[in-house]
Structure 1
Amino acid sequence: MGKGITRFHCVIWPAMLLAAELPPPRAVWAHGYVQWSGAKMSKTAGTAVTLGEAIDRHGADALRYFLLREVGFDNDGDFTWERFDARYTADLADTFGNLVSRSLAMIHRYRAGTVPRAERSIGSRFDSGVRDAVAVYQDWMNANRLADAAGQFIAIAASANRYIEEQAPWKLAKEERQAELDVVLASLTRTVVRLAILAYPFIPGKAEVIWGLVCPGLPLTAKSFEEAVLGVEGRTVGKPPILFPKPRLAPA
């Protein structure tokens, strides 16, 4: 809830519940205000934004991600069209969406859509780094630090994009270093599987699309996490769509 209504929900409402011999809430989470460049949104000033306008611009997932990333429990958040566009482009399109598209496209280009078996990819330096980063994400989520958790799953995607540039799978394919290429492709697919679950609280629609590409037939639940990650080799993956298109936008 917004911080402006905490008096009712933290004082009056619990008192009413106790008077009725009903249990009060164990915790109340109040978030900051969504402002326009540090000031209250105003129709008169032309800075009011409707949900419909924001969703039409980049979709419901993108708006959900932006608000969870930008507005914390201990701070107000700024919304402008420029900030929304920049966060959408940098985080979702250029980092996360780019990783998924590149990874699955290379599985199709080099292995006809089937994830290669590469046991050495499990426990590799890159794989260990991703698992450590996932543990940090879990700590943030357990502490209800949603903005930090959102930034963490994007950071994992960014590290995987760097891994692609460092390993240069196109070069490995050209030089016929097949075993090394298999390790890279399996590692990337495993990372995409992990990220589909990590992204789900923030962009559930897109996360389900990605999950359907890499884990067909498996439910997207926390219980299936390890099964999906460890069983990735030999799985046939779908061809990646454009997850986060970048339309030409005029400033709102």
Structure 2
Amino acid sequence: MSGPAIVIPARYASTRYPGKPLAELRGADGVAKSLVRRSWEAAMAVDGIASVHVATDDDRIADHVRDFGGEVIMTPAECRNGTERCAAALDAFDDEPEIVVNLQGDAPLTPAWFVEELVAALRQRSDVDMATPVLRADHDHWTALVEDRRAGRVGGTTAVFDATGRALYFSKEVIPFLAPDAASAMTQLPVFHHVGVYAYRPDTLRAYGQWPVGPLESQEGLEQLRFLEQGRAVLCVETDARGRTFWELNNPEDIEKIEAALHAP
């Protein structure tokens, strides 16, 4: 068994943003690089990782990744989400990784320590099948999440978990519910924003692709709920943003926000 591997799932046929992995982002040095290349560079900055691969079903993405020196695993077009694509990529490893990390291809601002903390947590906790990071929301963040939901927008996913960190639920609603008066009186809110990075044990990841999509995953549109619906233990690892800005590239207008973060000191 080899050390931890990062797999970056990337697909061309996005409903909201076709060709998104090849969209270019200009950094502080003025150099434009594709989204998938910046995600690959973020993965390469993580300490203790044995390998980094981009998993895709599209030759345009594959050729581009190989051109800048990245490793590619070709996966079926039928993969419905990033976790299924990571599961399909497992078959390509000659030496099975100890842990597989799903670093989503539209999140190039993900700090290295998020991944490092997930790997460390999974090694320490033999009672869980996978791990994912959460950030405690401050009052401004909580207010923004609530206002997004009132306006009919999905502003982010939140998570609730037990005293040991094991996830109870993930939702695009803001959970737990807090009355405004109660929230304003709290110095620390019990609301956690979920960050879509996952570290899996290989056997758990392999099983994922064989499970049916359950009603909760279908209704919420959250791939991680399939683990909970199957009774698997998901560890929420509270991490610290350390002042870093996060933004995923979901729509063309997000390019400006990510570039602003890349230009920040």
Calculate the TM-score normalised by the size of structure 2. Answer: 0.23
Calculate the TM-score normalised by the size of structure 1. Answer: 0.24
Structure in which a larger fraction of residues adopt strand: 2
Structure in which a larger fraction of residues adopt helix: 1
